[in-house]
Structure 1
Amino acid sequence: MWIYFILVNSVGLIAMAIDKAHAKKQARRIPEKKLWGLGFIGGSLGLYTGMYLFRHKTRKQLFVIGLPVLIIVQTVIGLFIYRLL
């Protein structure tokens, strides 16, 4: 499970870096739906870290508010599942 968590969050961080680089070059971007999909499957912490590390999507309220909320929800669910096991 930890390997999955590290892998999906690494992909989220890299996705933010790629999208920022493409934004600078006016190249084809990663759709926000795909970024959110990555967040929902567990990559929200990587996306959030990349958002501030690369200063990308920091003006989008949906990302600024939504990613921390998603991180909290996923943490609560994870702790609940951990206690059940």
Structure 2
Amino acid sequence: MRHYLAMSITAAAFCFAILINAFSFGLFWQDKRAARTGRRTSEQALLSVAMCGGSLGAVAACRLFRHKTRKEPFRTLLRLIITFQLVFAAIGILTLHTYLDA
């Protein structure tokens, strides 16, 4: 039962990660286009989506579109978000591993 629950949680987290990162990537792409032609997405909104799990999509879009690559403090805040998420993921993996071994 525990392994089934762990697999369900893992599958749900994986699906969520794909969706939020695709959304983040699209939001950054839209903001890059709007930088030339129209209404921009706020930096707060971009960072909020990254904080909710879309940091990989954000970084991929920043590099691919050369968008917000030199903008401070945006760049530093995005790096802090990624660091926070890596620490949180490591803690989650260790906790899940401990739960499955019990």
Task: Please state if 1:69 is matched with 2:95.
Answer: no
Which protein is bigger by CA-based radius of gyration? 2
With normalisation by structure 2, the TM-score equals 0.76
1:48, 1:68 within 8 Å by CA — same for their partners in 2?
no
Deviation at 1:54, TM superposition (A): 0.5
SS of residue paired to 1:77: helix
Unaligned runs of 5+ in 2: 1-12, 97-102
CA contact (8 A) 1:5 1:43 kept: yes
Where 1:61 maps in the other structure, the secondary structure is coil
Give how far 1:58 is off: 1.5
Counterparts of 2:75 and 2:60, CA distance in 1: 11
Identity in percent: 35
Structure 1: runs of 5 or more not aligned? none
TM value normalised by structure 1: 0.89
What RMSD, in angstroms, separates the aligned Cα atoms of the two structures? 1.1
